[in-house]
Amino acid sequence: MAEAVQFAAESLAGGRARAARTVLDQVVLPGEELLLPEQEDVEGPGGAGERPLRLNAGTRSRLRVVCGPGLRRCGDRLLVTKCGRLRHKDPGSGSSGGVYWVDSQQKRYVPVKGDHVIGIVTAKSGDIFKVDVGGSEPASLSYLAFEGATKRNRPNVQVGDLIYGQFVVANKDMEPEMVCIDSCGRANGMGVIGHDGLLFKVTLGLIRKLLAPECEIIQEVGKLYPLEIVFGMNGRIWVKAKTIQQTLILANILEACEHMTADQRKQIFARLAEN
Amino acid sequence: MKETPLSNCERRFLLRAIEEKKRLDGRQTYDYRSIRVSFGTDYGCCVVELGKTRVLGQVSCELVSPKLNRATEGILFFNLELSQMAAPAFEPGRQSDLLVKLNRLLERCLRNSKCIDTESLCVVAGEKVWQIRVDLHLLNHDGNIIDAASIAAIVALCHFRRPDVSVQGDEVTLYAPEERDPVPLSIHHMPICVSFAFFQQGMYLLVDPNEREERVMDGLLVIAMNKHREICTIQSSGGIMLLKDQVLRCSKIAGVKVAEITELIQKALENDQKVRKEGGKFGFAESIANQRITAFKMEKAPVDTSDVEEKAEEIMAEAEPPPEVIAEPVLWTPGTAQIGEGVENTWGVLEDSEKEGEDEGGSDEAVLPDDVKMDTAEVSNVGSQDAPIVLSDSEEEEMIILEPDKNPKKIRTQIVSAKQEKAPSKKPARKRKKKRIVN
């Protein structure tokens, strides 16, 4: 890790943009610029000055790159805005491009379009609910954005209720907006979360870990007790088991998972399963 | 920034858990969270951790003219600050109700209980007295600020030493710490606040409520007590009716808790004093890793020079001839050269020879007191090595490199598609779903 930081710092000091391909899974620092594979050929060894003339420069195959969290577009390069490890995922079709993002440990959530989050209703005002999602400002949620809601048939949402929803608008200049229906108008699991159960907060990194497909932790937890659980990308977890005791145990285990190795976790789960 | 609201389901859950005598962090009704007291390098500086709540205390003093109506008494000043660092809901530079309440409670607990002898702070009656200022900063907020702050205040006051003063006729002399040892304040007793949270109109009681418990409580009773079981302050807030029995029971519990905490504080103070006397690492310096070059800065240590010459001669006589070192410039590439002991890093060798350094080498390390020796040895190692490499074989490093252990695990779980990452799963009631990213 320390070496990687040193290396990143050196390259930053050098002022030369590195190719994104070469720093995958390495530490990147805010302010660093990354080159996409396409530009590597152009700006690679020869430098930007003498770019070979192409006959069909205009019809160059287009590259579709998605900037994930921690990256921003800066001209035709990627600008790093967070400190962490650079990750990449190839698109399915096998062409270049894909999704780049920076993995880092943080607690503060920044709304992202498409994220599923757990919010707390803080106010009802006319046609919209104000929902606290842990971001810098509350999100708005229209009362029509529930399954089966019409002007006559309002959803039953009280102040203080938990909402599981999805962002449809989330950018830095506007108030984020949530909905509790998908594009077909179905609830698809979203909506008001039950009145029992416990809500607690963990770091965003842990949430991502838990939501990874085939996450061992979730499978192991599922074997312990029958449970209902909701993960919000904003670092909130709602969990409900049969009894208060079980709910508390589950919440404490999930919180502790952040700092446990796989072996330690297995030991604890084995011990719990015995009881 | 606004405070995160408490949802209905959290409130309901907490109250139900309290009814079942369960707490979120697995504590019993009368349990305190773990308390940790650590000291700074200066006198009168300490950090108190009560679970995740942390308070920094710092005492300072100043010579001022006394108040007119109390010409022979020193002045005590307490100030608690709730910074935004502790919780985003605290606004900087604003006197919130909570802050005013906490500050007044602290003053009542510490000043009005006369735990500090203010008369001993008088230098010249009517002209010069000491003003003792206690600054408390909340570093992290996880409930029960008042208990943590009162512990931090009294620990900082006990730890503090003021410069010595002498008065001869009209002349007042202030001695620097080097001339005369600073003197501690005279403290009669140590009042410590213990908070009790009441729920369901006083039906249930919890000691040391954390942040979420504080939000759902109906009332709060704070009892400040010293280890002689003398109540220094008692305050009930929140507007609940308490029965006589309840208050009596709380005062009994407070007595037990205060005795435990006082013992812990005294142990911490003794430890710190012992380490300071021995000249080892103390205070926050303990936690500073010897990893960076800047961390090697150290103050001059007094060196015993009584029998240096004999000792040096003795060492020289006994020691073997120094190993042959050929200081030959090594030519790497044209234009660059390296001078030194050679190509290889010889730190390991130096570190090894350090143990027998007393009888070998004849360097200045040999005459230093034992405890300083380690540090200087490391410093000189760095000095002799021209490459700015961090110490790689110090013991601290093994403890610090915890993160790389975690990383492999992270990599495993985090090589996931961003698509699936953004589709939270709900098990088992809500089935896992996958969502395509709309670009």
Task: Provide the CATH number for the domain around residue A172.
Answer: 2.40.50.140
CATH classification at residue A80: 2.40.50.100
Q: By the 8 A CB rule, do A145 and A180 touch?
A: yes
For residue A220, the model assigns a pLDDT of: 87
Same domain assignment for residues A30 and A80: yes
Q: Are residues A25 and A93 in the same domain?
A: yes
For residue B294, the tally of other CB atoms under 10 A from its CB is: 7
Within this chain, do residues A26 and A99 fall inside the same structural domain, yes or no? yes
Q: Does residue B84 sit at the A interface (CB-CB below 8 Å)?
A: no
Please identify, among A104, A128, A153, the residue that sits at the C-terminal boundary of a domain.
Answer: A104
Name the residue among B352, B350, B338 with its Cα closest to residue B381.
B350
Shortest Cα–Cα distance, A102 to chain B (Å): 11
Q: Provide, as residue numbers in chain B, all residues whose Cβ is less than 8 Å from the Cβ of A197.
A: 9, 13
Residue-averaged pLDDT of chain A: 83
**Does A173 reside within a domain?**
yes
| Structure token pair of residue B173 | 């002399």
For residue A157, tell me if it sits in a domain: yes
Using CA coordinates, name the residue in chain A closest to B7.
A160
pLDDT in tens, A198-247: 999 999 989 988 998 888 888 888 888 899 999 999 999 999 999 999 99
Q: Domain of A29?
A: 14-39+63-104
For B386-423, the pLDDT digits (tens) are 444 444 444 444 444 444 444 444 444 444 444 444 44
Residues B46/B155, Cβ–Cβ less than 8 Å: yes
* Residue where one domain finishes, among candidates A140, A163, A192: A192
Q: Note the pLDDT of residue B427.
A: 45
- With an 8 Å Cβ cutoff, is B72 touching chain A? no
| A124 plus A181 within the same structural domain | yes
ipTM: 0.80
Other residues' Cβ atoms within 10 Å of the Cβ of residue B274: 11
Lowest mean pLDDT among A204-208, B99-103, B208-212, B278-282: B278-282
**pLDDT tens, residue by residue, B37-87:** 999 888 899 999 999 999 999 999 999 999 988 888 999 999 999 988 898
Assess B13–A contact: CB distance below 8 Å, yes or no.
yes
Q: Which of A52, A71, A104 is the last residue in one of the domains? A: A104
**Cβ-based contacts of A99 with chain B (< 8 Å):** 417-418, 437
Residue A127: Cβ within 10 Å count: 11
Q: Structural domains in chain B? A: 28-269 (3.30.230.70)
CB-CB: which of A1, A99, A222 is closest to B418?
A99
- Work out the burial of residue B275: count CB atoms within 10 Å of its CB; fewer than 13 is exposed, 13-18 middle, 19 or more buried: middle
Q: Does residue A133 belong to any structural domain of this protein?
A: yes
Query: Quick check: B410 contacting A, CB < 8 Å?
Result: yes
Q: What is the rounded CA–CA span in Å between residue A70 and residue B179?
A: 56
Chain A residues closer than 8 Å to B439 by CB: 64, 66
Which one, of B101, B116, B69, B148, lies nearest residue B232 by Cα?
Answer: B116
Cis peptide before B428 (omega within 30 of 0): yes
Q: What's the CA angle centered on B163, arms B160 and B165, to 5 degrees?
A: 135
Q: What percent of chain B has pLDDT over 90?
A: 42
**What is the pLDDT confidence band of residue A41, given thresholds at 50, 70 and 90?**
low
CATH code of A226's domain: 3.30.1370.10
Compute the nearest-CA separation of A236 from chain B (Å). Answer: 12
Distance from first CA to last CA of chain B, Å, rounded?
Answer: 32
Inter-chain contact B426–A194, Cβ cutoff 8 Å?
Answer: no
- Regarding whether A209 and A183 lie in a shared domain, the answer is no
CB atoms A160 and B435 under 8 Å: no
Average pLDDT, chain B: 77
Over the stretch B145-160, which tens digit does the pLDDT of each residue have? 999 999 999 999 999 9
Distance from CA of A222 to the nearest CA of B (A): 8
Which residues does residue A33 pair with via DSSP β-bridges, in sequence order? A79
User: Structural domain tally of chain A?
Assistant: 3
pLDDT tens, position by position, B18-37: 999 999 888 888 999 999 99
Q: Is residue A21 part of a domain?
A: yes
Burial track B40-78 (b if 16+ CB lie within 10 A, e otherwise): beebbbbbbbbbebbbbbbbbbebeebeeeeeebbbbeb
Question: pLDDT of A77-131, one tens digit each?
Answer: 889 988 888 988 887 665 667 888 888 888 889 898 899 999 999 999 888 999 9
Q: Are residues A94 and A25 in the same domain?
A: yes
Rounded to 10 deg, the angle between the A244-256 and A262-274 helix axes is 170
Chain A residues with beta carbon closer than 8 angstroms to that of B425: 211, 218, 231
Written as one letter, the residue type at A46 is G
Quick check: is A263 in a domain?
yes
Q: Are residues A121 and A167 in the same domain?
A: yes
Q: Is residue A49, in this structure, part of any structural domain at all? A: no
Residue B1 is predicted with a pLDDT of 73
Say what the pTM is: 0.70
Checking if the pLDDT of B322 tops 80, the result is no
Per-residue pLDDT, averaged over B308-318, amounts to 78
Closest-CA distance, A51 to chain B, in angstroms, reads 30
Using alpha carbons, select from A199, A182, A181 the residue that is nearest to residue A191. A181
Q: What's the pLDDT at A261?
A: 86
Q: Give the model's pLDDT for residue B70.
A: 87
